[in-house]
Amino acid sequence: MVDYDHYTRVTRGLVEGARVELWIATANVKSVFVEAPVGTRARARGRYVSLVETLAALARRGVDVRILHASTPSGPFRAELARQASAGIAMRQCPRVHMKMIARDGAELYLGSANLTGAGLGAKGDKRRNFELGVVTSSARLLEAAQARFDAIWRGRECASCAMRRECPKPIDTFTSLGTKPRASRSPAAPSPPSSRRRRA
């Protein structure tokens, strides 16, 4: 995928299509705006809405939404997240995170250059967005490797030996609850697992 494909294929397809879990790793977190849902008045008026609204709606439907990030989210993103605080979007910060990945339902994986920002995954015009490159795959091997790496960082398994621990705003291994194991990836031909609300970290 190149440039605008990240919006149409990753944001509008991969992210919005989550049914069980959505794990996102990104270096930067900024406001991302998308077209309002088809069939709504907002869409008819050409309105754009924050991706946080989409993530919150997924979380309220029982999707396990997690964001692993390095930098402090932008002010507008934090404000929108505060408005959706009841949704249960889980976020953890690790200054060393530089990978960009999105794993959906243990079935599809994005790996590439795009951060969770408007210029990377949002609806910005071609002349304003970043030059991005990435792939979406259903490879069981890649899914298992990516989810295992995400899970290790999410659970704070890298914290004890980290040379940047003193600079970390809150080492993850100090959290009281460190989440659940990643869902095993499955063949695209296999039936989807039943969607059930899982305990969040």
194 within some domain: no
- pLDDT for 83-124, tens place per residue? 998 899 999 999 999 999 999 999 999 999 999 999 999 888
Euclidean distance between CA atoms 161 and 189, whole angstroms: 40
189 within some domain: no
196 within some domain: no
126 within some domain: yes
Q: What is the pTM of this model?
A: 0.84
152 within some domain: yes
Question: Per-residue DSSP letters for 45-78?
Answer: TT-EEEHHHHHHHHHHTT-EEEEEESSPPPHHHH
E-strand ranges in 20-174 read: 21-26, 33-35, 48-50, 64-69, 90-93, 101-104, 108-112, 134-137
- pLDDT for 124-172, tens place per residue? 888 889 999 999 999 999 999 999 999 999 999 999 999 999 889 889 9
60 within some domain: yes
179 within some domain: no
Domain count, the chain: 1
CATH at 47: 3.30.870.10
- Domain enclosing residue 139, as ranges: 5-174
